[in-house]
Amino acid sequence: MKKYIFSRFGYMLFTFLLIATFTFFLMHTLPGSPFNDERLSAAQKAMMAKRYGLDEPLAVQYFKYLGNLLAGDLGVSFQFDGRSVTSIIGERIGVSAVLGAQSLIAGTVLGLLLGIVAALKHNTFLDYGSMIIAVLGLSIPNFVFAGLLQYWVGVRLQWLPVAFWEGFEYSILPTIALAAFVVATIARFMRNEMLDVLGHDYIVTARAKGIRESLLIIRHALRNAMIPIVTILGPLAVSLMTGTLVVEQIFSIPGLGEQFVKSILTNDYPVIMGVTLFYSFFFILIVFVVDILYVLIDPRIRLTGGGSRANG
């Protein structure tokens, strides 16, 4: 197990370096310069470039960047004069993380409930109802859903704030808008898994032994149906990262997503690099954690060359 984790970690670092390198060179192929402005002449642009070290050959800039990166220095933004990339990410990431985590947790819990209910009440009104909700959640784009929520709940009914991020009540609408997709995905998945598990022989055996229905569901059915859910949690978390971008914009939430897009549009190289690396690190980490969790919860997966043999 230790060896496995160690080698996965090595791959992580390598992937990270590859991403850093590709992003750096691709980013510099973007047309335009951060100092393009209607009013700046070529000579003035050259002066600005010099001020920020952009006049050096790309390779030199690349190794300088890597050196700084190792020292934990992500550089200084061009669009926000004098502000460090670390502080730009630091100021915004907390909000994005809370919003993303809240949506993931709320969405997963609700999705599981819907999925279980649908499976247990298979082919009833409850089943169809849950699945209609799930299909709607999957098919309505989150910006449409967010806009509708904002208008109806915020403006017309005035139950919740229209926008901004100044307390828990401000986070409810954006969370719902983001979680809809999670609820739908998890519910559909859970329903199918439960139906599958409930048809297995060991469930029939357990029933025959006279086990209480609630215990049967929790101990025997649910536990086995949960395993595949872990696999989709990783990709779901990643899709939330992109989802927050739109939702943050609509609800005027000071998160990282919008800043990322803006930095690309303004050729703010240090911020593009910083945010890309941050997102990729997060993504790689999720994949890593999911891999580890997988080994931990599924007894059928065993690694060769270490640990005890599975017996079940």
And the tokens for 123? 């082919």
Question: How many other β-carbons are positioned within 10 Å of the β-carbon of residue 282?
Answer: 16
Q: Using the rule CB under 8 A, is 151 a contact of other proteins?
A: yes
Helix (H) or strand (E) holding 166: none
Q: Using the rule CB under 8 A, is 267 a contact of other proteins?
A: yes
81 or 201, CB closer to other proteins? 81
Q: What's the CA gap between 98 and 223, in Å, rounded?
A: 28
Q: Binding other proteins by CB under 8 A: which of 15, 79, 192, 231?
A: 79
Q: Binding other proteins by CB under 8 A: which of 65, 145, 189, 251?
A: 251
Tokens 């307390």 belong to which residue? Answer: 167
* Residues 104-133 interacting with other proteins (rule: CB under 8 A): 105
User: What is the DSSP secondary-structure string of 235-272?
Assistant: HHHHHHHHHHHHHHHHTT---HHHHHHHHHHTT-HHHH
Q: Tell me the backbone φ, ψ of residue 286, rounded to 5 degrees.
A: -60, -45
134 or 225, CB closer to other proteins? 225
Q: Binding other proteins by CB under 8 A: which of 26, 265, 285, 303?
A: 265
User: Are 261 and 245 in contact, with CB atoms under 8 Å apart?
Assistant: yes
* Residues 15-44 interacting with other proteins (rule: CB under 8 A): 30-44
Q: Using the rule CB under 8 A, is 203 a contact of other proteins?
A: no
State the alpha helices, DSSP H only, in the chain: 2-28, 42-51, 58-70, 85-120, 125-139, 142-149, 168-198, 201-208, 213-215, 223-250, 256-265, 269-297
114 or 256, CB closer to other proteins? 256
Q: Tell me the backbone φ, ψ of residue 258, rounded to 5 degrees.
A: -65, -35
> Measuring CA to CA, which residue among 141, 173, 177 is closest to residue 155?
173
126 or 165, CB closer to other proteins? 165
As measured in angstroms, the least distance from the Cβ of 200 to other proteins is: 18
216 or 230, CB closer to other proteins? 230
Task: State in Å, rounded, how far the first CA of the chain is from the last one.
Answer: 19
Q: Binding other proteins by CB under 8 A: which of 249, 281, 288, 290?
A: 249
Question: How many other β-carbons are positioned within 10 Å of the β-carbon of residue 138?
Answer: 14
User: Are 74 and 273 in contact, with CB atoms under 8 Å apart?
Assistant: yes
Binding piece for other proteins, criterion CB under 8 A, among 8-16, 18-26, 93-101, 127-135: 93-101
14 or 159, CB closer to other proteins? 159
Q: Binding other proteins by CB under 8 A: which of 10, 53, 299, 306?
A: 299
Q: Using the rule CB under 8 A, is 147 a contact of other proteins?
A: yes
Query: Which residues of the shown chain bind other proteins in the complex (CB under 8 A)?
Result: 30-44, 46-48, 50-51, 78-83, 88, 91-92, 94-95, 97-98, 101-102, 105, 147, 150-151, 154-155, 158, 161-168, 170-171, 248-252, 254, 258-259, 262, 265-267, 293, 296-297, 299, 312
